[in-house]
Structure 1
């Protein structure tokens, strides 16, 4: 059976980058967040997913929380992949830290608002426009938020 929780945690490039950053040892959240151009609350959400999967842990040191990687937790993924490809040998590669690529963000462009157009309701259609739309049944997203 595939290790779904770990694979879901690794399915996001930001979380994969966090794993790479933590290979060098435990890091506080502000150091991890400095490597990204997203908010600290967003980084905290990614860290929570990694923590729930067991790939990292959080330990409080004074006023800061440090996150540490547990590379041994990747063993179920390695075993599962080895079972899929019995002829291929999956070996543990040395830790490689990839530096963050600094790219300037594109400048924001101001899009002009379209001119307001008056809405004219035909009396026969006015009653239909005022009626609420029927509720759509909820669609299962299989745990994903789209």
Structure 2
């Protein structure tokens, strides 16, 4: 049971980290290269790509949390690692909340002049979120070898 839950937990975490990394290091640079100085065109396609993903990511975060709690209930020997992972994921989730409910609406209604600043801000926020979730994932791998 523990092994199956650990595989589910790690797989979900890998999906979140992988999705963020793909967006940040593949999609965003290609959009920037393709659209060049056309910030409005880039923004329009970015909005289409991102549309509807909020609730999928929330479901992913909930599933990661529930499977992590399940693992902790099955084996609390290294509870402190789970506590650190939980805090890192909570911080990443807070950033995700901000991006989803504050940053994106600001981008949708931004003027062309405001877009470059908002696009750069998203890169910083996404990089921070990726670093937090990636570190939590790495701690989970470390925990399996203690």
Flag the structure with higher strand content: 1
- Using structure 1 for the length normalisation, give the TM-score: 0.31
More RCO (CA 8 Å, sep 6+): 2
Structure number with greater Rg is 1
Flag the structure with higher helix content: 2
- Using structure 2 for the length normalisation, give the TM-score: 0.31
